[in-house]
């Protein structure tokens, strides 16, 4: 694929909210004056090294006056120094992005960040980690994505450094963000007319006037939807919209579904799932295409069964293959599937009818359990005039 034309530079604009809990991620607080940053006072070393330490220091931190420093000591290169946060309560069905600024050299050894998930009894449910080395004694903004397991209630963040003698790790500005995928394309907090979380857009080919925007022409839900337009002058042109990273949990399956509106007698629209590992390498790509939609909303789904090394996915929509091709998308959702063997394409996974309302609170669509959509139309006075199966 040739990226001839980037419609926006907003690729790094993540749509994420900091959690409310104070984790002292800047390491500024030490109310009990023990020279260990509060919330991060569980520290230990394994091995037999001498002079290891964990302390609050102030050597050019990323923010504020202080940072955290771990040092594994001398005399035993296999020694590791550890620091563990207090438990942080997480919310059910939320997705998280954890990032930390880390400074290290480590030509031989390594530094790691580990996310430990625990259940309500504080038993360990799962651990995910990333390791780093060869940092040239610079600050690195390291990210780890987390889709907590069903029974996870808390997470703890653990840092470690070792594997060589006299290994240092400095840490500052640790953040936990809750990720929102802006599934109904309603939010545009940076006012660039692109739905937040879906701001990486481009077109290949040579068409003119291609665009991606968030208008509100009879959306499925709320007041706006994603609109993609392939432009004129080149029937081979495609326009693309890519989500920010969406954490997934290996071992789980997901039903990714979306409402899509298109005509496309010649061209086609695509949903592509891109699986990415924790080092941002693509490990898998798959999806499906659709056409001949008669300019109606359709419910489409894809089953996602992440590879064991997949850390997050990105969802990509595309439309083109004919001139002036339009694709509208609304109400993207990603739900865990309990029984992947029983999953059926384009049939809602719940035994439950779903209702979608317009901005005036009027019932606009009904999604039946067999996947059929019923649209309701109203006159100017708000009286129901038509019920139509799409």
Contacts with Ca ion by CB under 5 A lie at 26-27, 30, 32, 34, 36, 38, 61, 63-64, 66, 172, 184-185, 188, 190, 192, 194, 196, 219, 221-222, 225, 330
Instruction: Tell me what percent of the chain is helix, strand and coil, each rounded to the nearest 5.
Output: 0, 50, 50
Q: How far is the CB of 334 from Ca ion (least distance, A)?
A: 16
Closest by alpha carbon to 258, among 202, 205, 219?
219
Q: Which is nearer to Ca ion, 337 or 390 (CB)?
A: 390
Q: How far is the CB of 335 from Ca ion (least distance, A)?
A: 18
C-alpha span between 285 and 265 (Å, rounded): 26
Q: How far is the CB of 77 from Ca ion (least distance, A)?
A: 29
How far is Cα of residue 324 from the mean position of the Cα atoms in its chain?
31
Q: How far is the CB of 269 from Ca ion (least distance, A)?
A: 18
Give 182-237 as a DSSP string.
-TTS---TT-SSS-TT--EEEEESS-BS-EEE---SS-SSSS--EEEE--BS-TT-
Q: How far is the CB of 216 from Ca ion (least distance, A)?
A: 8
Q: Which is nearer to Ca ion, 39 or 126 (CB)?
A: 39
Query: Which residues share a beta bridge with 128?
Result: 115
Query: Which residues share a beta bridge with 142?
Result: 100
Q: How far is the CB of 258 from Ca ion (least distance, A)?
A: 11
Q: Which is nearer to Ca ion, 38 or 270 (CB)?
A: 38
For 26-42, b/e burial (b = at least 16 CB within 10 A) is bbbebeeeeebbbbbee
Q: How far is the CB of 220 from Ca ion (least distance, A)?
A: 6
C-alpha span between 268 and 285 (Å, rounded): 18
Q: Which is nearer to Ca ion, 36 or 179 (CB)?
A: 36
Q: Which is nearer to Ca ion, 78 or 296 (CB)?
A: 296
Give 26-44 as a DSSP string.
T----TT-SSS-TT--EEE
Q: Which is nearer to Ca ion, 86 or 278 (CB)?
A: 86
Give the SS3 label for residue 149.
Answer: coil
Sheet holding 363-367, edge to edge: 354-357, 363-367, 373-378, 384-389
Element housing 5 (H / E)? strand 5-6
Contact 129, 112 (CB under 8 A): yes
How far is Cα of residue 100 from the mean position of the Cα atoms in its chain?
17
Contact 319, 271 (CB under 8 A): no
Q: How far is the CB of 152 from Ca ion (least distance, A)?
A: 27
Q: How far is the CB of 36 from Ca ion (least distance, A)?
A: 4
Contact 93, 180 (CB under 8 A): no
Q: Which is nearer to Ca ion, 30 or 165 (CB)?
A: 30
Q: Which is nearer to Ca ion, 191 or 370 (CB)?
A: 191
Q: Which is nearer to Ca ion, 77 or 314 (CB)?
A: 314
């Amino acid at each position: 694929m040739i990226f001839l034309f980037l419609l926006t530079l907003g690729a790094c604009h993540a749509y994420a909210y900091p959690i409310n809990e104070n984790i002292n991620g800047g390491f500024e607080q030490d109310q009990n004056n023990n020279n260990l940053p509060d919330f991060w006072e569980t520290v230990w070393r394994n091995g037999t090294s001498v002079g290891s330490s964990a302390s609050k220091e102030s050597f050019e931190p990323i923010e504020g006056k202080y940072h955290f420093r771990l040092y594994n000591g001398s005399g035993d290169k296999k020694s590791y120094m550890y620091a563990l946060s207090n438990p942080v309560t997480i919310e059910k069905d939320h997705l998280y992005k954890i990032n930390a600024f880390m400074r290290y050299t480590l030509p031989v050894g390594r530094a790691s960040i580990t996310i430990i998930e625990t259940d309500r009894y504080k038993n360990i449910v799962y651990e995910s980690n990333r390791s780093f080395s060869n940092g040239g004694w610079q600050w690195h903004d390291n990210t780890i994505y987390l889709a907590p397991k069903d029974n996870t209630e808390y997470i703890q963040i653990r840092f470690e450094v070792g594997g060589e003698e006299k290994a240092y790790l400095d840490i500052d500005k640790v953040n936990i963000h809750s990720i929102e995928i802006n599934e109904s394309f309603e939010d545009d907090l940076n006012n660039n007319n692109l739905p937040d979380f879906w701001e990486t857009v481009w077109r290949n080919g040579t068409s003119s006037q291609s665009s991606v925007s968030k208008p509100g022409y009879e959306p499925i839900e709320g007041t706006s939807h994603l609109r993609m337009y392939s432009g004129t002058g080149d029937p081979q042109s495609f326009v693309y919209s890519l989500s920010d990273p969406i954490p997934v949990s290996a071992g789980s399956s997901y039903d990714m579904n979306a409402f899509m509106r298109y005509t496309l007698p010649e061209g086609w629209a695509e949903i592509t799932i891109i699986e990415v590992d924790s080092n941002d390498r693509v490990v898998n790509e798959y999806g499906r295409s659709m056409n001949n939609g008669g300019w109606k909303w359709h419910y489409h789904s894809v089953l996602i069964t992440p590879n064991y090394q997949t850390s997050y996915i990105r969802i990509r929509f595309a439309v083109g293959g004919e001139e002036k091709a339009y694709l509208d998308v609304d109400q993207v959702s990603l739900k865990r599937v309990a029984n992947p063997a029983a999953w059926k394409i384009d049939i809602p996974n719940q035994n439950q009818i779903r209702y979608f309302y317009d901005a005036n609170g009027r019932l606009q669509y009904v999604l039946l359990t067999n996947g059929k959509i019923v649209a309701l139309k109203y006159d100017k006075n708000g009286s129901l005039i038509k019920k139509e199966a799409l």
